[in-house]
Structure 1
Amino acid sequence: MKNEVLSVAEAAKRIEAGAVMVLAGDEALLAQLPRGKWIGGTTVYFVTEDGGTVMRDKLFCTTFAEATGAVPRYVDVAGLPEISKGYTPGGFTMIMIPAFSVAHSNFAVEGQTYPGLFDQPLSGWITGVHLDDIGKRAPKIFDGSTGIGHDEGAALLHVALPEGAHVDLDILNIFARGDSAALTFSFPEAGFAAKTAVVNGEEVNFARYITETGIDTRLPLVANYAGALVNVSIQSVDVEAGEVKFYAPVVAGVEYRLANALGSYAQAFAQGAGETGEGQYSCNCILNYLYGELEGQRTGKFTGPITFGEIAYILLNQTLVKMDISNAA
């Protein structure tokens, strides 16, 4: 696996040579690429070897040299439950979904119920745009089999690997569950927005509770999902409407606690990553980039796109997703 910052011409040459790739960059660049074994998504935020940056003139490219083949595929919203139908035995699948789309919402809420979804590593991210362009330009995904961009649905890359190869898909979450009050949500409050929450057994208006207690909304809610700490980030608090919106859905009946405050984001990532990250695929959250002031800062040796949501089987927030391929023949 190789991560590189390439020009359109350099990426096109690689694609035409038959490389299996995932690409990230500005829509105008992705739209110029030839057909091939790739998928792409829009973002202009990245962490490169020089640190966090906004980049509009080049593409961030990951080439899977270990791959023995790959099939790019586009599915519309109705086809999302059939993601696993393209799985290659012993391989893995990359996925990209546009932010703010119906597919984004549906995958976040229903994805874990899709048949066979967890049968092989599924990694990817939610595509975005420059923050100044939100509401002006739609995030896009690109299917390399056609080269066409879409603002709805999902782009998939089903990758085949040689016998003996092993894929390690994991998350780096720099947040820990704090000792604050236990929060739970119930239907119909569970989802991307909630008006009420149960706090230590008492039902409260959640927007008013956040305001009155002075909760730092830059910190996510953290839950333990089968041993993995998963974040749900707060998007907005509307006291007048009495509603709190989230970047990922809260799940009914799951206990959440506010994350502990951090010192330095960059330092926390460096400590969490250690000396690992080089030669691995990764993507990191736009909220970490903003709140952690990562522009110009490194995140250990991890490089990759900054995204509007990360996917390691399910939708994640304020997390770094990492994937490594080893023991390939």
Structure 2
Amino acid sequence: MKNEMLSVADVSVRINDGATMVIAGAEELLRQLPKGKWIGGTTVYFVTDQGGAVVRDKLFCTTFDRVAETDMRYVDVDALPTIAEGYKPNGFTMIMIPAFSVAHSNFAVEGQTYDNLFNQPLAGWITGVHLDDLGRKAPMIFDGATGQGHDEGAVLLHVGLPADAKADLDILNIFAQGDREDLTFRFKKDGFVASSVEVNGEEVDFATYIEENQIDTRLPLVANYSGAMVNVSIQSVDTVSGQVKFYAPVVAGVEYRMANALGSYAQAFAEGAGNTGEGQYSCNCILNYLYGELEGQRTGNFTGPVTFGEIAYILLNQTLVRMDISDTDAA
């Protein structure tokens, strides 16, 4: 697997040579690419070899070099539950979904119920735009088989690996549940919006609670799913309407706690990653990029797109998703 920042011309040569790729970049660049074995999505934020950066004139490309078979497909909102129907034997699937789309919402809330979704690694991200373009430009996804762009639905790259290779999918979450075990949050409904929450069993107006307790909304709510820490990030707090909006849905009945405050984001990622990351697929959250002031800073050896949500089977926030292709264990 190779990660590179390439010009449109260089990417086009790679595609025409038959490479299997996932590609991230500005919409106007993705529209220039020829048809081939690739899927793409829009973002202009990246973590590069030199650190976090806004890049508008090149595309970030991950090329998979151990491939037995490949299929690309676009699915509309109604067909999202069929994601696993394209899974290849001994393979993995890459997925991209546009931010703020119906598909984004439906996958976030219902994805974990899709048949056979967890039967193989499913990795990818929610596409975005420059923050200055929010509301003016739609995040896009591209199906390399047709070359067409879409602002709704999902694009999928199904890859089958040779028998001597395997895909390993993991997340790097630098947040943990806060130290206060006596401060817990539970919601009565699933969803991206909440007006009330049970704090230590007592129902309160969530927006008012956040304001009165001066909660730092740059820190996510964290749930412990059998040892895996899963974040739900707060998008906005409106005490007038009484609504708190999230970047990923809260799940009814699950216990959440506020994350502990961090020192340096970049240092936390570097320490969490160790010397890993080189030669792996990865994507990192736009909130980490912004709150951690990652522009110009590296996060270990990981490079890749900065996204409006990360996918490792389910939708995640403020998380780095990573996938490695390695040799199968000797029998």
TM-score, normalized by the shorter chain, greater than 0.5:
yes
> How far does residue 184 in structure 1 lie from its aligned partner after superposition?
0.3
Task: Tell me if the contact between 1:8 and 1:29 (Cα under 8 Å) persists in the aligned partners.
Answer: yes
> How far does residue 166 in structure 1 lie from its aligned partner after superposition?
1.5
Query: Aligned residue for 1:128?
Result: 128
Q: 1:186 aligns with which of 167, 188, 193?
A: 188
How far apart, CA to CA, are the structure 2 residues paired with 1:228 and 1:172? 10
Query: Aligned residue for 1:250?
Result: 250
Equivalent residue of 2:41, what SS? strand
Query: Aligned residue for 2:284?
Result: 284
Equivalent residue of 2:35, what SS? coil
Query: Aligned residue for 1:46?
Result: 46
Correspondences of 1:197-216 after superposition (within 5 Å): 197-216=197-216
> How far does residue 164 in structure 1 lie from its aligned partner after superposition?
2.6
Task: Tell me if the contact between 1:161 and 1:328 (Cα under 8 Å) persists in the aligned partners.
Answer: no
Correspondences of 1:290-309 after superposition (within 5 Å): 290-309=290-309
Query: Aligned residue for 2:236?
Result: 236
What are the ranges of 5 or more consecutive residues in structure 1 without an aligned counterpart?
none
Structure 1 position 217 matched with structure 2 position 217: yes
How far apart, CA to CA, are the structure 2 residues paired with 1:165 and 1:232? 33
Distance 1:210-1:283 versus aligned 2 partners, 3 A rule: same
> How far does residue 69 in structure 1 lie from its aligned partner after superposition?
2.1
Query: Aligned residue for 2:22?
Result: 22
> How far does residue 68 in structure 1 lie from its aligned partner after superposition?
1.8
Amino acid at match of 1:221: L
> How far does residue 328 in structure 1 lie from its aligned partner after superposition?
6.5
Equivalent residue of 1:293, what SS? coil
Amino acid at match of 1:84: A
Query: Aligned residue for 1:62?
Result: 62
Task: Tell me if the contact between 1:309 and 1:315 (Cα under 8 Å) persists in the aligned partners.
Answer: yes
Cα deviations by residue, 1:62-102 (Å, 9 ceiling, x for unpaired):
00001122111000000000000000010000000000000
> How far does residue 28 in structure 1 lie from its aligned partner after superposition?
0.3
Cα deviations by residue, 1:31-72 (Å, 9 ceiling, x for unpaired):
011111100000000000000000000000000001122111
Query: Aligned residue for 2:268?
Result: 268
The TM-score, its normalising length taken from structure 1, stands at 0.98
Task: Tell me if the contact between 1:162 and 1:328 (Cα under 8 Å) persists in the aligned partners.
Answer: no
The percentage of counterpart residues that share the same residue type is: 75
Query: Aligned residue for 2:259?
Result: 259
Structure 1 position 9 matched with structure 2 position 23: no
Equivalent residue of 1:294, what SS? coil
Equivalent residue of 1:67, what SS? coil
How far apart, CA to CA, are the structure 2 residues paired with 1:166 and 1:89? 11
> How far does residue 226 in structure 1 lie from its aligned partner after superposition?
2.7
Query: Aligned residue for 1:78?
Result: 78
**Misfit runs of 4+, over 3 Å:** none
How far apart, CA to CA, are the structure 2 residues paired with 1:185 and 1:198? 6
Cα deviations by residue, 1:4-39 (Å, 9 ceiling, x for unpaired):
000001001000000000000000000011111100
The TM-score, its normalising length taken from structure 2, stands at 0.98
Aligned length, in residue pairs: 327
How far apart, CA to CA, are the structure 1 residues paired with 2:260 and 2:307? 23
Amino acid at match of 1:299: T
Query: Aligned residue for 1:138?
Result: 138
Task: Tell me if the contact between 1:21 and 1:38 (Cα under 8 Å) persists in the aligned partners.
Answer: yes
How far apart, CA to CA, are the structure 2 residues paired with 1:179 and 1:136? 41
How far apart, CA to CA, are the structure 2 residues paired with 1:30 and 1:86? 24
Aligned-residue Cα RMSD (Å) equals 0.9
Equivalent residue of 1:214, what SS? coil
Task: Tell me if the contact between 1:20 and 1:69 (Cα under 8 Å) persists in the aligned partners.
Answer: no
Structure 1 position 116 matched with structure 2 position 116: yes
> How far does residue 165 in structure 1 lie from its aligned partner after superposition?
1.2
What are the ranges of 5 or more consecutive residues in structure 2 without an aligned counterpart?
none
Task: Tell me if the contact between 1:66 and 1:328 (Cα under 8 Å) persists in the aligned partners.
Answer: no
> How far does residue 216 in structure 1 lie from its aligned partner after superposition?
0.1
